[in-house]
Amino acid sequence: MTTSAASVAVACPLCDQREASPWGRENGYSAVKCIGCGLVYVSPRPADDSISEATRTGQHRHEAGALSVVYAPSRRKLARYRARMRRVLAQELGQDPVSWLDIGAGFGELIEALRDVVPAGSRIRGIEPMAAKAAHARARGLPVTSESLAQVSDSFDFVSLINVFSHLPDPGAFLADIRRLVRPGGTLVLMTGNGAELDRAESYPDRLDLPDHLVFAGRPQLDAFLREAGFEPYARDLVRLDTPVWAAKALVKKLVGQPVPLVLPYRSRFRDMLYLARRVR
């Protein structure tokens, strides 16, 4: 959560319209739904100078305080990533090695999962702006560095943004900037929730994490962002989270006093979206 007192009202990051209707509130911030394009975004939001460089590159600021906690990769999470990537990339990967850059690599979870998915000889690397996380990943043998995106001059067959999108104050500009990192014809792999497809924040399956999360797209808005930035989406894998296990976890969180909505299984329109988009210009 920000400690800055300065907040500024902003126009829709997708269509620049200023008219919006209330959507959700959390931590003293409001998320509004653009009446023009349907994007959900935080406004007013922390001033640009307090949205750090780290956030622009996809850093989850609220995790900064958790760094003293020893991170242990969840085997279950790794297995889930591995299975989903294997399924979604089945048509993409042949025998030939590929190059892959993971932006906002965190503790290197995706990289670790991908090692068993991509062909032998592939080059995978990650960038994580928070040095302590990158060091943690390296200590486990995962190639994660903390250099800035501006320092990366290579281009890659695949570039991934896993749960980075919602942290971007200006997703369009960010996507246009990282296009150079995807080789022409290469693939952007983007994972985010479809929050903007929910009428109200009440049906969002977890905390909104305002204002660390600044933007919530749905399929129409994500398609528009990608096309404007020179990518053509060609595969959309949607996974629901509102399983009975999720509902039980939400109930437990509620019982220990966390401000999470209670969910009934298989009722929510929320989906975790995994997009594949080709660089087309």
Interacting residues toward Zn ion by CB under 5 A: 12, 14-15, 17, 34, 36-37, 39
For the chain, give percent helix, strand, coil, nearest 5. 30, 25, 45
- Of residues 2 and 192, the one with the C-beta less far from Zn ion: 192
Instruction: Select 37 or 85, whichever has its Cβ closest to Zn ion.
Output: 37
Q: Cβ closer to Zn ion: 220 or 261?
A: 220
Least distance in angstroms from the C-beta of 169 to Zn ion: 15
- 252 burial type by CB count under 10 A (0-12 exposed, 13-18 middle, 19+ buried): exposed
Distance of alpha carbon 188 from alpha carbon 211, whole angstroms: 26
- Strand blocks (E) in the chain: 7-8, 20-26, 29-34, 40-42, 45-46, 99-103, 123-127, 144-145, 156-162, 182-193, 215-216, 231-240, 271-279
CB of 221 to Zn ion, least distance (A): 8
Beta strands in 54-108 (DSSP E): 99-103
Q: At what angle do helices 171-178 and 219-228 cross, to 10 degrees?
A: 50
Q: How far apart are CA 174 and CA 82, in angstroms?
A: 27
- The span from the CA of 82 to the CA of 117, in Å, is 7
Q: How far is the CB of 39 from Zn ion (least distance, A)?
A: 5
Q: State both tokens at 162.
A: 């896993």
- For the bound state, the minimum distance from the C-beta of residue 215 to Zn ion, rounded and expressed in Å, comes to 11
Q: How many CB atoms lie within 10 A of CB 257?
A: 7
**Minimum CB distance to Zn ion, residue 11 (Å):** 8
Alpha-carbon span 59 to 163, nearest angstrom:
10
Tell me the closest approach of the beta carbon of residue 23 to Zn ion, in angstroms: 12
For residues 57 and 192, which CB has a smaller minimum distance to Zn ion in the complex?
192
Residue closest to 190 by CA, chosen among 60, 103, 87, 75: 103
Distance in Å, CB of 20 to Zn ion, minimum: 8
| Of 39 and 178, CB closest to Zn ion | 39
Q: Which is nearer to Zn ion, 224 or 260 (CB)?
A: 224
Residue placing its CB nearer to Zn ion in the complex, 10 or 89: 10
Is the CB of 143 or the CB of 172 nearer to Zn ion?
172
Cβ 34 to Zn ion shortest distance, Å: 3
